[in-house]
Homo-oligomer: A and B are copies of this chain.
Amino acid sequence: MLKLFDLELSGNCYKVRLLAALLGVTLDIIPVDFMAGAHKADAFLKLNPFGEIPVLQDDELVLRDSQAILVYLARKHGGEAWLPTDAAGMARVMQWLSTAANDVARGPNDARLHDLFSYKLDIVKARHQSQHVLAIFETHLTSHNWLEFDRPTIADIACYPYIVLAEQGGVSLANYPSIHRWAARIRALPGYIPMPGQYQAA
């Protein structure tokens, strides 16, 4: 069985649990004691030298990074639907995996780390970046039901958690109706699971 080294409150872990649920894949969840710093202990650093959660283990294969794990699950269990393999299709999805790893990470993810987990970082900058990212998503989602194509892909799953958790970093989602409608589409997917403490649209 696939082992997920997990933190319940991490949006990066949640995106893996969410895709697994949507694909009907069962995960063996191994909680990592984040508050005790278990992700920086030697045993965990052997799995992931970056000291970050999640990590997925499938027999001999050990994968770090939530986006890479989404790619793995999609290629192994999702077929072409969740991650197309033609050049243009794969690259279009890849754009949003980078957005999740960079722009979203530096915005709503960082702001939430500051507010919820007392990370020392420039909160003004993180909130400014959150607004910038949310505005781009809002505009894009006003003319698109999904981030790419006419269906959900791992692009949506990669970006969804920290976008909808923006309020936990002190950034209101009140003025982003297209983001709300996109989030509702994701929540309506068969097999959808929420995460603890997650924003719930009215």
Contacts and interface: CB of A to CB of B under 8 A. Distances in A.
Lowest 8 CB-CB distances: which A-B pairs, in order? Answer: A72-B91, A75-B87, A76-B87, A68-B94, A101-B101, A68-B95, A65-B98, A98-B101
This chain's copy number in the assembly: 2
B67 A94 contact: yes
A91 B2 CA distance: 15
Given A49-B139, A50-B136, A95-B65, A72 B101 contact: no
Interface of A: 49-50, 58, 61, 63-69, 71-72, 75-76, 85-88, 90-92, 94-95, 97-99, 101-103, 105-106, 121-122, 125, 136, 139-140
A52 B75 CA distance: 29
Nearest to A66: B98
Contacts of A91: 63, 68-69, 71-72, 75
A102 B103 contact: no
A121 B128 CA distance: 13
A188 to B, nearest CB: 26
A79 to B, nearest CB: 11
Nearest to A76: B87
A102 B88 CA distance: 23
Contacts of A67: 94, 97-98
A136 B50 CA distance: 7
